[in-house]
Chains A and B, each alone.
Chain A
Amino acid sequence: MSMFGFGGVNQGPTSAQKIAAAEAELEMVTDMFNRLTHSCFKKCVPREYREPDLNKGESVCLDRCVAKFFEVNVKVSEQMQNQAATRQGGTPGTGGMFGM
């Protein structure tokens, strides 16, 4: 679950800091999941609700939608990191999150 690289905090920080970092990470992942489900459901499932089950088309659409949502995350983060790096005159993508 250390999706943003917060996992490796074991040299120095206090327990409270470590737990806060883990909670921030959990918060970020949950928030991302909630936004993803909201968007993908809206894009893939028509509002008529003809049957209680997901049909083939809806299922495939949801699968692809999740994959693409991740792809967009990666693309945006790369582009933001590169831009930040260019502005600071450093090498792209060296820092942690957004060059912090």
Chain B
Amino acid sequence: MDGLTAAEQREFQGVVEKRQMREFMQMYSNLVQRCFDDCVNDFTSKTMNAKEEGCISKCVDKWLKGSERMGQRFAEQNAAMMQGGGPLGGAR
């Protein structure tokens, strides 16, 4: 965020925080849907069985670890691309 004054940066920070909250809620509901879809398929009872519970727990764990890992790689790739001038200006 180069080119912003200190006041502008503060204002932008507020925008970022609001957005992060929204992102977080979105990630939560996406994760519920993903794990529900992948783990819960037995409707002979109205409570989750042990297998489903285990699956949900592993599903959540794996996703959180995976998204952390992808976040690291994403940051690295992004930094590398910045040095090359950005993807939409790369042919300059």
Chain A contact residues: helix, strand, loop or mixed: helix
Q: Which of B38-86 contact A (CB under 8 A)?
A: 38-39, 55, 57-59, 61-63, 65-67, 69-71, 73-74, 77-78, 81-82, 85-86
A52, B4: Cβ atoms under 8 Å?
Answer: no
Q: Which of A40, A49, A59, A94 has the most CB of B within 10 A?
A: A49
- Contact count band on B: 35 or more
What would 15 more interface pairs be, CB under 8 Å, given A19-B12, A41-B67, A74-B90? A1-B78, A8-B2, A10-B3, A15-B5, A19-B15, A23-B15, A33-B74, A40-B66, A40-B70, A49-B38, A49-B55, A52-B65, A54-B65, A92-B91, A96-B89
B62, A52: Cβ atoms under 8 Å?
Answer: yes
B91, A52: Cβ atoms under 8 Å?
Answer: no
Chain B, residue nearest A38 (CB)? B30
Residues of A within 8 A of B1 (CB): 1-2, 7, 22
B2, A67: Cβ atoms under 8 Å?
Answer: no
Q: Which residues of B contact A (CB under 8 A)?
A: 1-5, 7-8, 11-12, 15-16, 19, 23, 38-39, 55, 57-59, 61-63, 65-67, 69-71, 73-74, 77-78, 81-82, 85-92
